[in-house]
Amino acid sequence: MGLTAANWLALLQGATFTVALSLAAIAIGIPTGLVLALIRWQRVPVLAPIAAVLVSILRAAPAVTLALLIFFALPTIGVSLERVPAAILTLTLSTSAFNCEIWRAALLALPKDQIDAALSVGMPRLLRLRRIVLPQVARAALPALVSEITLLVKVSPAVAVLGVVDITRAAVRIGAQTYVPLPPFMGALLIYSLIVFVFVRLQRVVERRMALANEVLR
């Protein structure tokens, strides 16, 4: 038995919610990871070791455990979040930690002589960061960042434990109603594949534009 139009609509609604959650987490997590990486790269006193410990804990924590901790444990200290903000916070914290390591690897690979040259001419730190550091590390980190984005989309079903209806939860509901679980899960797999395909295509478009920009600068 195949999927009805109503079943596809339910899956697409779950997909819309999955993409919205993922985009919110990406929009917050990528710059947050960059800030954490810069703190560690610059070895900022006090903040650098705190950031290192925080990143290690978040990388080790399963997304499901993190979601349950945020939604059920935080109220015990007076911080209560609704399901959607808790889901976004879960995905943001999880991806921020991995993004931090991606950014930090790109920063550590940055040729030190370029920084030394900028220092020798007295270039201010913020200008150095904007003109020299960020353009290069963004190009170097882009493929890994897109890989992390696709992993985030695949990890997003973890927040279903909070009661939010994503693609996987929608597929489970359809399977429970029809007693035929295979078609809805195949439909969910197809939708996940399309979402990941879109992100990969966007990566290639951005890479081509970066390459063209480099050619123009040369």
Cα distance between residue 39 and residue 100, in whole Å: 10
At residue 156, the pLDDT reads 87
61, 155 Cβ separation under 8 angstroms: no
Amino acid letter for position 78: G
At residue 115, the pLDDT reads 79
At residue 36, the pLDDT reads 96
For residues 13-27, one letter each, b for 16 or more C-beta atoms within 10 angstroms of the residue's C-beta and e for the rest, the string is ebbebbbebbebbbe
At residue 110, the pLDDT reads 87
36, 55 Cβ separation under 8 angstroms: yes
At residue 90, the pLDDT reads 94
Who contacts 99 (Cβ-Cβ below 8 Å, separation ≥6)?
A: 29, 30, 32, 33, 34, 37, 145, 148
Question: DSSP readout, the chain?
Answer: ----HHHHHHHHHHHHHHHHHHHHHHHHHHHHHHHHHHHHHTT-TTHHHHHHHHHHHHHHS-HHHHHHIIIIIGGGGT----HHHHHHHHHHHHHHHHHHHHHHHHHHTS-HHHHHHHHHTT--HHHHIIIIIHHHHHHHHHHHHHHHHHHHHHHGGGGGGGT---HHHHHHHHHHHHS--HHHHHHHHHHHHHHHHHHHHHHHHHHHHHHHHHHHH-
Amino acid letter for position 49: P
Domain that holds residue 130: 5-217
At residue 87, the pLDDT reads 93
Number of folded domains in the chain?
Answer: 1
For residues 35-60, one letter each, b for 16 or more C-beta atoms within 10 angstroms of the residue's C-beta and e for the rest, the string is ebbbbbbeeeeeebeebeeebeebee
At residue 38, the pLDDT reads 94
For the purposes of burial, counting CB atoms within 10 Å of the CB of 170, is it exposed (0-12), middle (13-18) or buried (19 or more)? buried
At residue 205, the pLDDT reads 84
Report pTM: 0.86
At residue 1, the pLDDT reads 55
Residue numbers of the chain with a pLDDT score lower than 70: 1, 213-218
At residue 93, the pLDDT reads 95
Phi, psi of 147 (to 5 degrees): -60, -40
CATH number, domain at 86? 1.10.3720.10
At residue 165, the pLDDT reads 77
At residue 100, the pLDDT reads 96
